[in-house]
């Protein structure tokens, strides 16, 4: 079926204040990256994962992730680039060169380490059903304001039409390759695909797929484990 997941994990993760790359920060004794990769494989849809690691930590990341691969699959680890988009592009190039028959590419954030495997399945299945780009989303609980550069409110978008975006984002392989070859810029991969004029459809995400960015998020993640949902 040819599903590959790319995991850009080459950031330094300074906002967590751990003095190590965020992907290697442990929650309940297990690094975020390991939890994220386990979730991808547990979906039953993914056999190959390509990790973009901090250049100085490639060997360590290889050691901790190699045992996670299922029979017939592999975890590939390479050095990431200067920006997240460079890391994704390098991982994509590696996947297309090294993994046979790639049809679907997921881009997943190691920081969303508790993403339930059902979300991964829903994204992959929607791409396989013919949607070139699929993202998991949740409704917005807060009212959101758009402000100008001085912080003065410009307007209040209709909350019922807003969504927060999670990962994995899923793409038909040719679509993601075209997006990365386009030279366009966006803060996420779906944003690149939107700019190509390709429709991006949504599936329902999950609150456990929260992004661990700050020490507060880390505390929430530890609490999720105690509560038994992780
Ligand atoms: O810093 P931010 O949270 O936006 O990073 C998002 C993801 O991109 C993180 O998982 C980080 O490790 C990854 N990243 C990367 N290569 C970089 C910078 C960030 O893979 N050069």
> Any idea what the CATH number is for the domain that residue 43 is in?
3.90.550.10
pLDDT at residue 165 in the model: 97
pLDDT in tens, 76-94: 999 999 999 999 999 999 9
With a 6 Å cutoff on the Cβ, whether 8 touches ligand 1 is yes
Residue 97 CA, ligand 1 centroid: distance in Å = 23
Range with the lowest mean pLDDT among 11-15, 205-209, 211-215?
11-15
Over residues 202-228, mean pLDDT: 90
154 CA from centroid of ligand 1 (Å): 30
Give the list of residues 6+ apart from residue 102 with CB closer than 8 angstroms, or none.
2, 3, 4, 95, 96, 173
Q: Give yes or no for residue 221 CB within 6 A of ligand 1.
A: no
Concatenate the DSSP letters of all residues of 206-227 into one string. -GGG----SHHHHHHHHHHHHH
pTM of the complete model = 0.95
Mean pLDDT of 180-199: 93
Contact 50, 3 (CB under 8 A): no
Q: What is the mean predicted confidence (pLDDT) over 39-54?
A: 97
Q: Is 19 exposed, middle or buried (0-12, 13-18, 19+ CB in 10 A)?
A: exposed
> In the numeric block, which tokens belong to residue 43?
């979906």
Is a pLDDT exceeding 90 seen at residue 29? yes
Whether 83 is in the pocket of ligand 1, judged by its Cβ within 6 Å, is yes
pLDDT at 230: 54
Per-residue pLDDT band at 19 (split at 50, 70, 90): confident
For ligand 1, the distance from its centroid to the CA atom of residue 213, given in whole angstroms, is 11
% the chain with pLDDT above 90? 87
The band of 228, judged by pLDDT with boundaries at 50, 70 and 90, is: low
CA 170, 4, 72, 28 dihedral sign is negative
- The domain of 76 spans 3-227
First to last CA, the chain: 28
CA of 83 to the centre of ligand 1 (A): 7
81 lines ligand 1 (CB under 6 A): yes
State whether the beta carbon of 57 lies less than 6 angstroms from ligand 1: no
Q: Is 76 in the pocket of ligand 1 (CB under 6 A)?
A: no
What is the rounded average pLDDT for all residues in the chain?
94
Relative orientation angle of helices 32-42 and 58-65, to the nearest 10 degrees:
40
Ligand 1 center–CA 51 separation, angstroms: 11
pLDDT for 20: 84
pLDDT, residue 177, reads 96
Query: Average pLDDT, stretch 164-193?
Result: 95
| Number of structural domains the chain divides into | 1
Distance CA 144, CA 141 (A): 9
* Measured CA distances, 35 to 9, 21, 124, 221 (Å): 13, 15, 19, 11
Q: Where are the alpha helices (DSSP H) in 99-132?
A: 117-128
Beta carbon of 111 within 6 Å of any ligand 1 atom? yes
Looking at residues 217-230, what average pLDDT do you find?
81
Token reading at 138: 């949740």
Residue 1: predicted pLDDT = 59
109 lines ligand 1 (CB under 6 A): yes
Report the atom number in ligand 1 closest to the C-alpha of 109: 10
Kindly state if the Cβ of 230 falls inside 6 Å of ligand 1.
Answer: no
């Amino acid at each position: 079926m040819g599903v590959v997941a790319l995991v850009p994990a080459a950031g330094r993760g300074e906002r967590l204040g751990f003095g190590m790359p965020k992907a290697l920060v442990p929650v309940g004794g297990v690094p975020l990256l390991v939890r994220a990769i386990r979730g991808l494989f547990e979906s039953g849809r993914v056999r190959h994962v390509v990790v973009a690691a901090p250049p100085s930590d490639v060997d360590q990341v290889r050691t901790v992730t190699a045992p996670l691969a299922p029979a017939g699959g592999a975890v590939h680890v390479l050095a990431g680039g200067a920006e997240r988009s460079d890391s994704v592009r390098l991982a994509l190039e590696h996947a297309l060169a090294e993994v046979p028959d790639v049809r679907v590419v997921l881009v997943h954030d190691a920081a969303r380490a508790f993403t339930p495997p059902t979300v991964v399945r829903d994204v992959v299945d929607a791409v396989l059903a013919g949607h070139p780009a699929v993202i998991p989303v949740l409704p917005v609980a807060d009212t959101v304001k758009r402000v100008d550069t001085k912080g003065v409110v410009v307007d209040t978008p209709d909350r019922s039409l807003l969504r927060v975006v999670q990962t994995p984002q899923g793409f038909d392989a040719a679509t993601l390759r075209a997006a990365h070859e386009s030279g366009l810029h966006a803060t996420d991969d779906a944003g690149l695909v939107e700019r190509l004029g390709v429709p991006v459809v949504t599936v329902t995400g999950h609150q456990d797929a929260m992004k661990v960015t700050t020490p507060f998020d880390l505390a929430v993640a530890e609490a999720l484990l105690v509560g038994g949902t992780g």
